[in-house]
Amino acid sequence: MKTRGVFAAAALVLLLAAPRFLERGTLNDIWNVAFAVILASAWNLLGGFAGQVSIGYSAFIGIGAYTTVLLSLAGWHPYATLPVSAFLSAAFSVIVGLPTFRLRGPYFTIATIGVSEAVRVVAAGVAFTGGSSGLRMPAGSFDFQRDYSAMVVLAVLVVALAAWIQASPFGQALRAIRQDIDAAEAVGVHSTKYKVLVHALSAALVALAGSLFAINFQYISPNSVFDFRLSLSIVLMPIVGGLGTVAGPVLGALLFGYLQIKLLSSPALRDSYLFLYGGMLIAVMLFEPRGLLGLYRRVRGRITRSFSRPVPDAG
């Protein structure tokens, strides 16, 4: 645990110092990966640790982004809006969670598809989102350096938080819920309370990322924050990386961050991202439901076994 803390601190220092020796393009890539790491790790708290797969997470990015833009337009300092984003998103997650968490497994997932469709429809229809023409941040609020630092710090914090939760009794309760919710209740785990709690926590973190997203891009619209590719990758990154682990979502975020860069630079690939994403999902579910991390462990296990196999006794 201690060595991991040292490692995290070193990574943070290195990332914060990066603007001194890396060029802007590379920093942009790091920003993108950090954004992806936050989304993937935060989603994994509910979807991986507690096993409640939600397809409705773009709503929380939207709440974060719109809170920040609207309050900034009302004269707030952009960073002063962050706590409000987190709070509103958590509150919305509780409103959605209380009824839908009565549902189990796939039924919960289907309800979240319904909720996300309803949010999308409403967001496109109400006036304050700026409709299809979108909203622009007030002039002078853009500072890449500052947004970069905030995103990197948040990413490292979210991963550290995930590691801490995994080792805590809270994380144990979530794992118990994922494996057998009735058995968890039977030994005293208040499953609804913990599901609502972890949903709120992960919704707040995703909203923070949405706020920083809005500050960096300066312009948002229902199409940009509820982008299908974005809401798809939130779910896919942790699944492809390794559900319910700390390293899995980070691995998935790195992979998807890299893919995102490749997709943007190659039109042929951009047109077939659904093939790519769908294909990955199918491959993971059929061959290694524990994702890349599971694959790595299996391969490592096989290699260790083949080296340590006892020599047959001649006598």
Partner 1 sequence: MPADAILGVEGLIKRYEGLLALSGVTFSVARGEIFGVIGPNGAGKTTLFSCLVGSVQPNSGIVRFRGERIERLPNHAIVARGLVRTHQIVRPFRDMTVRENVSVGAHFGRARLRGAEAGRRVGEILEKTGLVRKAEVLAGTLTIGELKRLEIARALATGPEVLCLDEVMGGLNPSEIVDAMKLIRSIRESGVTVLMIEHHVHAVVGVSDRILVLNFGLKIAEGKPMEVVRHPEVISAYLGEEAV
Partner 2 sequence: MNEIITVLVNSLLAAGLYATMSYGLAVIYGVMRIINLAHAGILMLGAYATLTLNSRLGMDPFLSLVVVIPVFFGFGVLLYLTMIRRLPRSSGGPSIESLLLLFGVWLVLQNLAYAIWTGDTQSILTRYTMKSVVLLGVRVGIPTVAVFSVSALSLVVLQLVLRRTYLGRAIRAVTQNRDAAMIAGVNADRISAAAFGIGTAFAASAGSMLATMYAFTPDFGRSFLLKSFCIIVLAGMESVAGVAAGAFVLALLENFVGGYTTLPTSFQDALSFTLLVLALVAFPQGLVGAFSRATQRWRRLGRA
Please say which residue, 83 or 99, places its beta carbon nearer to partner 2: 99
315 binds, among partner 1, partner 2, none (CB under 5 to 8 A by kind): none
Please say which residue, 110 or 303, places its beta carbon nearer to partner 2: 110
Q: Does 275 interact with partner 2 (rule: CB under 8 A)?
A: yes
- Could you give the CA distance from residue 265 to residue 25 in angstroms, rounded to a whole number? 13
Cβ at position 122, least distance to partner 1 in Å: 33
189 binds, among partner 2, partner 1, none (CB under 5 to 8 A by kind): partner 1
DSSP-derived pairing of the beta strands 135-136 and 219-220: antiparallel
Q: Does 176 interact with partner 1 (rule: CB under 8 A)?
A: yes
Q: Which of residues 185-244 bind partner 1 (CB under 8 A)?
A: 185-191
Q: Does 180 interact with partner 1 (rule: CB under 8 A)?
A: yes
Q: Does 182 interact with partner 1 (rule: CB under 8 A)?
A: yes
Q: Does 23 interact with partner 1 (rule: CB under 8 A)?
A: no
- Could you give the CA distance from residue 168 to residue 82 in angstroms, rounded to a whole number? 27
- Best CA proximity match to 45, nearest among 230, 244, 207: 244
Please say which residue, 127 or 187, places its beta carbon nearer to partner 1: 187
Opening angle at CA 276, ends 273 and 279, nearest 5:
140
Residue range at the interface with partner 2 (CB under 8 A); choices 27-35, 94-102, 252-260, 290-298: 94-102
CA distances from 138 to 9, 18, 129, 243 (A): 34, 28, 15, 39
- Encoding tokens for residue 270? 């951009």
Please say which residue, 173 or 235, places its beta carbon nearer to partner 1: 173
Residues 6+ apart with CB under 8 A from 113: 55, 56
- Best CA proximity match to 78, nearest among 225, 221, 212, 220: 212
Question: Applying CB under 8 A, which residues contact partner 2?
Answer: 51, 53, 99-100, 102-107, 109-111, 113-115, 117-118, 121-122, 124-125, 232, 239, 271-275, 277-282, 285-286, 289
